[in-house]
């Protein structure tokens, strides 16, 4: 089972995980990562909203290609990769990656692999709204270092 | 018909619009000459990629967009 898609509506991780669980009842385990809009404790630099934009001809095909590479590299029985687009608020889920496998290491490593690639190479542009207006998010050097692990 | 040039991410703010239609055919020099000077400066940087008709160009200077093509200007991604 491969469930790889973009979503402009609120992401419900429990629904996606339940579907993966149902579809892979022979699996030995499921690993998952849920990325969320960070809620900042300090009011002065708090993020009020996050807008995720994408480019239709590249973004989803890029995620599908990533899913295919994860499946080729790890022994998986199912993979879920759902990414939000549009306007998000602190606490909202942004991305869910979940992998089902016979053995836990494949599942855990596949999720880690997909997240490192999504964070550094997926076709998304983010801007944050703070008290003083909108700011585009620049790529971080650490995201590219994470990619070098693979 | 024309070539639609799409400004993604921060380039949209720099260009002041989401897209412009330019006359076809459109090559690299034609693109640089017809976009805002600040956008052209960014385009020359290695960090900005160009896609034509849904494919990222390995060498953006080889751009040859035809009638009806969409050219997307892709600044560095912020990651998922």
Domain that holds residue A129: 2-148
Per the structure, the count of domains in chain A is 1
Per-residue pLDDT, averaged over B60-76, amounts to 97
Q: What is the CATH number of the domain that holds B26?
A: 3.10.20.30
Question: Is residue B44 a part of any domain in this protein?
Answer: yes
Is residue B46 less than 8 Å (CB to CB) from chain A? Answer: no
- Collapsed DSSP state (helix, strand, coil) of residue A108: helix
**Pairing relationship of beta strands B3-7 and B70-74 according to DSSP bridges:** parallel
Could you tell me if residue B62 is inside a domain? Answer: yes
| Domain assignment present for B80 | no
Q: Is residue B61 part of a domain?
A: yes
User: Whole domain around residue B28: which residue ranges?
Assistant: 3-74
Q: Is residue B17 part of a domain?
A: yes
The answer to whether the CB atoms of B80 and A143 lie below 8 A apart is no
pLDDT per position as a tens digit, A99-141: 999 999 999 999 999 999 999 889 999 999 998 999 999 877 7
Residues of A in contact with B6 (CB under 8 A): 55
DSSP for chain B, please give it: --EEEEE-THHHHHHTSSEEEEPSSEEHHHHHHHS-HHHHHHHHSTT-EEEETTEE-SSGGG-EE-TT-EEEEEPPP---
- Residue pLDDT, tens place only, A64-110: 999 999 999 999 999 999 999 999 999 999 999 999 999 999 999 99
d(CA A89, CA A38): 9
pLDDT at A7 over 60: yes
Query: Is residue A97 within 8 Å of residue A115, measured between CB atoms?
Result: yes
Q: Does A42 score more than 80 pLDDT?
A: no
Mean pLDDT in residue range B27-44: 96
Q: What is the pLDDT of residue A43?
A: 58
Residue A11: CATH number of its domain: 3.90.1170.40
A94 touches chain B (CB under 8 A): yes
**Global pTM value:** 0.92
Distance CA A90, CA B71 (A): 34
- The structural domain count of chain B equals 1
Two structure tokens written together for A77:
């029985």
Closest-CA residue of A relative to B79 is A119
What mean pLDDT is predicted for residues B30-54? 95
């Amino acid at each position: 089972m491969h469930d790889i898609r973009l979503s402009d509506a609120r992401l419900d991780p429990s629904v996606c995980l339940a579907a993966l669980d149902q579809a892979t009842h022979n699996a030995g385990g499921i690993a998952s990562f849920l990325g969320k809009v960070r809620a900042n404790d300090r009011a002065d630099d708090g993020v009020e909203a996050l807008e995720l934009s994408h480019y239709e001809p590249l973004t989803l095909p890029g995620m599908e290609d990533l899913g295919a590479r994860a499946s080729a590299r790890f022994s998986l029985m199912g993979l879920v990769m759902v990414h939000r687009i549009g306007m998000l608020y602190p606490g909202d889920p942004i991305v869910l990656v979940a992998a089902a496998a016979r053995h836990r290491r494949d599942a855990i490593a596949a999720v880690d692999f997909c997240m490192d690639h999504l964070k550094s190479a997926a076709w998304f542009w983010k801007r944050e709204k703070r008290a003083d207006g909108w700011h585009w998010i620049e790529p971080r050097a650490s995201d590219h270092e994470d990619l070098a692990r693979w | 018909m024309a070539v639609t040039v799409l400004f993604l991410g921060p380039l949209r703010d720099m260009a002041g619009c989401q897209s412009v239609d330019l006359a076809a055919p459109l090559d690299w020099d034609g693109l640089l000459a017809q976009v805002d000077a600040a956008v052209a400066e960014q385009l020359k940087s290695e960090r900005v990629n160009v896609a034509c008709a849904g494919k990222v160009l390995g060498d953006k200077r080889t751009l040859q967009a035809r009638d009806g093509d969409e050219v997307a200007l892709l600044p560095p991604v912020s990651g998922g």
